[in-house]
Amino acid sequence: MKICVLPGDGIGPEIVAEAVRVLKALDLPDLQLEEGLLGGCAVDATGNPYPEATQKLAREADAILLGAVGGPQWDSLPREQRPERGLLGIRKDLNLFGYNTMVYSESEIRRIGHVAFQAAQKRDKKLCSVDKMNVLECTQLWRDVMIEISHDYPDVELSHMLVDNAAMQLVKAPKQFDVMVTGNMFGDILSDEASMLTGSIGMLPSASLDDKNKGLYEPSHGSAPDIAGKGIANPLATILSGAFMLRWLGDRHEDPTLIESASRIEKAVELTLAQGLVIPRDLGGRASCTEVTAAICKNLKN
Ligand code: NAD
Ligand code: MN
């Protein structure tokens, strides 16, 4: 199994190093990690935010683990040289759907819907689709397609919510939700909001998948230039993205060891937080980035 590791910019290299430490601590003999450049660091080294060497690595890999890209030092570059262009580039190149666009074709909505229903089937079998069909007429198509697809998944209960209400309900009663599905713009905003339910944006993993479930896994936060290089970033979102990656890889390749390893990471994170001894700064603790990882690695054995 080949994993393309792209640390990126800002806190990216710090948190990705920690996720790699956890992956290595699992002793999975089939996991090969190979590093590449993406984002601002790639612009500095090659002039291209998604250089050819990275393209080759990413295409050949079974999964991609990414830190984050971007930072103020690259904000004044022409648009095609900005780090964010690298991220859009890799998502487009690998056909990770729904991510680069505000405009969806019907077939794209259908693909997104199927992935969401399948995700709900693996969990509590509840799916909430978020749109704004009362005002944004274009989201009527979104709702119609979700309803049509729901007939293929009779075991999943589909509900609909308007995005402004969803933003409110997420704060008021988050436990009513299990899997939510929505477009790029609403999803970006709601996922940052949802991250705070866990205490910090430093906690939330994310994945973007292609139609064969090959994925790019990354924390849902950015490169946090304000704390880069200080060793205080919370690595848990990236460590949990690694767990996410193992679960989907395990699923895709029918490898129960990988799925078990994903659960081991998730349990070690839960245990570490429950013990309350090693808590990252953004959650009100004092632990450094590497101290958090050391505690996770120790708890992998429990
Ligand atoms: P951000 O998520 O980087 O930071 C927002 C706030 O959360 C900051 O105060 C930061 O210190 C804090 N934070 C984020 N991750 C943290 C962690 N792991 N531990 C502790 N604190 C953490 O968002 P921003 O400030 O809007 O953007 C900064 C840069 O990141 C920009 O260049 C932006 O383009 C880029 N960005 C990249 C991605 C990505 O690579 N997918 C996503 C969002 C933003
Ligand atoms: Mn975001």
CA 75 to ligand 1: nearest atom:
32
pLDDT digits 0-9 by tens, 110-142? 988 998 999 899 889 999 999 999 888 888 999
**How far is Cα 177 from Cα 129, in angstroms, rounded to an integer?**
10
In contact, 129 and 120? CB cutoff 8 Å: no
Interval between CA 150 and ligand 1 midpoint (Å) = 35
Mutate to test the pocket of ligand 1, among 85, 221, 236 (most ligand atoms within 8 A of CB): 221
Q: Going along the chain, which residue ranges are E strands?
A: 2-8, 32-35, 63-68, 126-131, 157-162, 179-181, 205-209, 215-219
Listed residue (81, 4, 80) closest to 40, CA to CA: 81
Interval between CA 137 and ligand 1 midpoint (Å) = 32
- The CA-CA-CA angle for residues 193, 199, 205, to 5°, reads 70
pLDDT at 234: 98
Record the tokens describing residue 162, joined without a space: 């308007």
**How far is Cα 296 from Cα 219, in angstroms, rounded to an integer?**
17
Which pLDDT band, with edges at 50, 70 and 90, does 100 fall under? low
pLDDT digits 0-9 by tens, 214-268? 999 999 999 999 999 999 999 999 999 999 999 999 988 999 999 999 999 999 9
Tokens 């259908």 belong to which residue? Answer: 110
Tell me the percentage of the chain whose pLDDT exceeds 90: 80
Residue with CA closest to ligand 1 atom 23: 222
Interval between CA 222 and ligand 2 midpoint (Å) = 7
Residue with CA closest to ligand 1 atom 12: 224
Average pLDDT over residues 14-27: 97
CA 282 to ligand 1: nearest atom:
20
Interval between CA 15 and ligand 1 midpoint (Å) = 12
Tell me the percentage of the chain whose pLDDT exceeds 70: 98
CA 11 to ligand 1: nearest atom:
18
Tell me: pLDDT of 269 over 90.
yes
Tell me: pLDDT of 274 over 60.
yes
Tell me: pLDDT of 32 over 90.
yes
In contact, 128 and 166? CB cutoff 8 Å: yes
pLDDT at 101: 59
pLDDT at 195: 86
Residue with CA closest to ligand 1 atom 44: 222
- Report the range of poorest mean pLDDT among 7-16, 53-62, 100-109: 100-109
Sign of CA dihedral 120, 122, 124, 125: positive
CA 234 to ligand 1: nearest atom:
19
Tell me: pLDDT of 97 over 80.
no
Interval between CA 223 and ligand 1 midpoint (Å) = 4
6 or 220, greater pLDDT: 6
130 or 102, greater pLDDT: 130
Interval between CA 227 and ligand 1 midpoint (Å) = 9
231 conformational bin, left if phi > 0, alpha if psi -120 to 50, beta if neither: left
Q: What is the pTM of this model?
A: 0.90
pLDDT at 213: 84
**How far is Cα 10 from Cα 117, in angstroms, rounded to an integer?**
35
Tell me: pLDDT of 102 over 70.
no
Q: Residues enclosing ligand 1, CB less than 6 A?
A: 11, 15, 68-71, 84, 87, 201-202, 218, 221-227, 233-234, 237, 282
Across 47-51, 78-82, 194-198, which has the greatest mean pLDDT?
47-51
**How far is Cα 289 from Cα 54, in angstroms, rounded to an integer?**
27
